[in-house]
Structure 1
Amino acid sequence: MLFFRKKRLFIILIGFILLVGLIGFSLRDRDELTTAEQFLKDTVGWIQGIAHVPVEFTTTIFSNIDEIKNVYKENQVLKERLGKYKLLVHENQELKIDNEELQSILDKTESIKDFVPIQASVVSRSHEQWFKLITINKGKQDGVEANMAVITGEGMIGKVQTASQFTSTVLLLNGFDRSNRISVSIDVADQDKDPSGFIVGYDEESDSLLLELTEYDSKVNKDDLVVSSGLGGLFISGLEIGKIKEVNPDQYGLTQVAYVEPSADLYAMNHVIVVDRVMPTPDEEKLEEEE
């Protein structure tokens, strides 16, 4: 038993000496390697090449996954920024439209005399009446009364149908009929006397106001301006309503009917003016009579 132990220890010692010798031999400066060294080196290189392929493949996969995650995060950030940019563009457009509308109302307020402007904002629109009614945020507390004309910077849009204390309902021109007719005059350049008539309704098919001329032989032209005449005492004179599109005889041949394109947009408005007619005082009436 002791012999075998000594023999094993001797073999280990001899192997260690050979290993040290081989290491020392391999570390010497030589121009050529031995066949065994070449075989061992080639074998190790081949094994390393085989092992490197899956390692590189795995490393590439994880690298691609990380890159995809980064691209996804960057894409989400870009989408968020793009959404904010679109929102800012939309808000800017809304503010620009709102500003232009307010400016046009201010210009209209300064250009028309003989009435007190009551500026108001649209708070809702009636779906039941096919968008023919709107509600504004001014009422009797602000001086609004029924039958007052309502305009925008572009022209007349309707009249106050009912007024409560703090809000009012406005009937738009596309909801007018003979019971809500408007006395108008047509500004014709080449005539001494302007033709007159009444807005008696609205033609849905052509999106035009229907204007019945008072006299059958009245001569009006395309693009002639139609304004309120002030007759009847309901609306002040000079409120722009629209322009003539075409004129045709009525179905009975008794008068002419003109199709009028409204100057104001009846489907998109945010701010309006209620026209409160200024009634002359007794002193002003007396002064006018004396003149």
Structure 2
Amino acid sequence: MRNKRLFILMIGLIVFIALMGITLGRSKLTWPEKFVNDAFGTVQGVLYRPVGAVADFFRDLGRLSDVYKENEQLRMTVAQYTQDQIKFNKLEADNKRLQEMLDFTEEQKNMDNYSYLIAQVVGSTSNPYEKTITINRGSKNGVKPDMAVRTVDGLVGLVSKVKNFTSTVTLITTLDPNSSKGTPVSASFLSKPDSFGIIEYDEESNMLQMSKIDEKDKPMDGDKVITSGLSSLFPKGVIIGTVKNSQVGDFGLTYTAIIEPAAKFDHLREVFVIVVPEVEEP
């Protein structure tokens, strides 16, 4: 029995070796071999497609996650750039404004002997009958009541209340020279130093009005109006505004001029408190 099994194994080995020799010695496959190869390739292709699709799906998910992270980073970068641009524009505007203020103070030093306290506007009222602003300078900084206040552009108003670290400034648009507590602003034309007029606020036109102008000092459109210095409160030479038009008043003996204010009352940010040197009495 044992010899029979050994004989069958030897015969099988000889047949296998013979088949291998025949297969390796030829270049063409038989049709059974082709059938087996084609069947195996078809099955392999059918199995590979879903597996490949699943692999591509997860690979695409990974790529989408990377794109989302990149977009988030780009959005953060753009937001930071926008914020930096805003800061840069603000710093540039502040630098330009402060440079103008510095040039102004240097120019004024050559024109008069006034000194100036630079102050920031920290508040304002909306009362149309008593428009005031609050500045961050007070008695500790040398501010006193009835000091004139201006901007680089022109006259703003008068200090009305003073605290230790803040002060209230009443705008010239609400100074009423006809009231018992009125504070008249005396003015003159820059081109006519001897001219004279009183500044009031015209509610109808939202402009300043210069009245009681002598007939010999007929105002001309475009004339610059400045403080005359005749008032004990407003120092001489502070620009008030520009003549827009004029008309005859008071029985034809005087003129009245409409003045466009030089100061921009709706955009007050920094102001100057004018410090006039005290005159020693003899």
TM-score range relative to shorter protein: 0.7 to 0.9
User: Which residue in the other structure is 2:268 paired with?
Assistant: 269
Q: Which runs of 5+ in 2 are unaligned?
A: none
The question of whether the paired residues in 2 share the 8 Å contact of 1:131 and 1:267 is answered with: no
For 1:159 and 1:22, how far apart are their aligned partners in 2? 122
SS at match of 1:267: helix
Cα separation, partners in 2 of 1:61 and 1:101, compared to 1, 3 Å: same
The AA in structure 2 aligned to 1:56 is G
CA apart distance, 1:224:
1.7
Q: Quick one: distance in 1 between partners of 2:20 and 2:205?
A: 107
- State the number of aligned residues: 269
Cα distance between partner residues in 2 of 1:43 and 1:130:
100
| Cα 1:249/1:46, change in 2 over 3 Å | farther
Judged with a 3 Å threshold, the aligned counterparts in structure 2 of structure 1 residues 114 and 57 are, in CA distance, closer, same or farther, namely same
Is 1:79 the counterpart of 2:82? The answer is no
Q: Distance in 2 between matches of 1:62 and 1:101?
A: 58
Alpha-carbon contact 1:149-1:274 (below 8 Å) kept: yes
For 1:5, the equivalent position in structure 2 comes to none
Gaps of 5+ in 1: 1-8, 284-291
C-alpha RMSD over aligned residues: 3.6
Shift of 1:25: 6.7
Task: Percent identity, please.
Answer: 31
Specify the code of the residue in structure 1 equivalent to 2:146.
N
Task: Indicate yes or no: 2:178 matched with 1:182.
Answer: no
Instruction: Work out the CA distance in 1 between the residues paired with 2:15 and 2:241.
Output: 111
CA drift of 1:229 comes to 0.9
1:169 is displaced (CA, Å) by 0.9
SS in structure 2 at match of 1:258? strand
Q: What do the CA deviations read for 1:192-234 (whole angstroms, capped 9, x no partner)?
A: 565432221154x755323325235642233221111111211
Q: Which residue of structure 2 aligns with residue 199 of structure 1? A: 199
> Matches of 1:19 and 1:261 in 2, distance apart?
120
Residue-by-residue CA offset, 1:155-192 (whole Å, 9 max, x unaligned): 2222212111221011233444443441111223xxx5
Mapped contact 2:151–2:272 kept (Cα < 8 A): yes
- For residues 58-103 of structure 1, the C-alpha deviation after alignment (integer angstroms, 9 at most, x for no partner) is 3333233222222221222122222222222222222222222222
Aligned counterpart, 2:91: 95
Paired residue for 2:107?
Answer: 111
With 64-73 and 231-240 compared, the bigger mean Cα shift is at 64-73
The separation in 2 between residues aligned to 1:61 and 1:207, in whole angstroms, is: 71
Deviates more, 1:271-280 or 1:252-261: 252-261
Aligned 8 A contact 2:130 2:170 in 1: no
TM-score norm. by structure 2 comes to 0.79
Counterpart mapping for 1:167-246 below 5 A: 167-178=166-177, 179-188=182-191, 195-203=195-203, 207-215=206-214, 218-246=217-245
What is residue 40 of structure 1 aligned with on the other side? Answer: 36
Aligned residue type for 1:200: E
Range 80-89 or range 263-272, more displaced: 263-272
Moved more, 92-101 or 249-258: 249-258
**2:45 maps to 1:49:** yes
Instruction: Report the Cα offset of residue 236 of structure 1.
Output: 0.5
CA 228–38 in structure 1, closer or farther in 2 if over 3 Å, else same = same
Distance 1:278-1:27 versus aligned 2 partners, 3 A rule? farther
Matched, 1:259 2:258: yes
Conserved? CA contact 2:242–2:259, under 8 Å:
yes
**Secondary structure class of the residue paired with 1:214:** strand
- Asked whether the equivalents of residues 117 and 272 of structure 2 are also in contact (C-alpha less than 8 Å), the reply is yes
Distance between the aligned counterparts of 2:92 and 2:117, measured in 1?
23
CA–CA distance in structure 2, aligned partners of residues 252 and 60 of structure 1: 97
Instruction: Identify if the C-alpha distance between structure 1 residues 216 and 137 changes in structure 2 by more than 3 Å, giving closer, same or farther.
Output: same
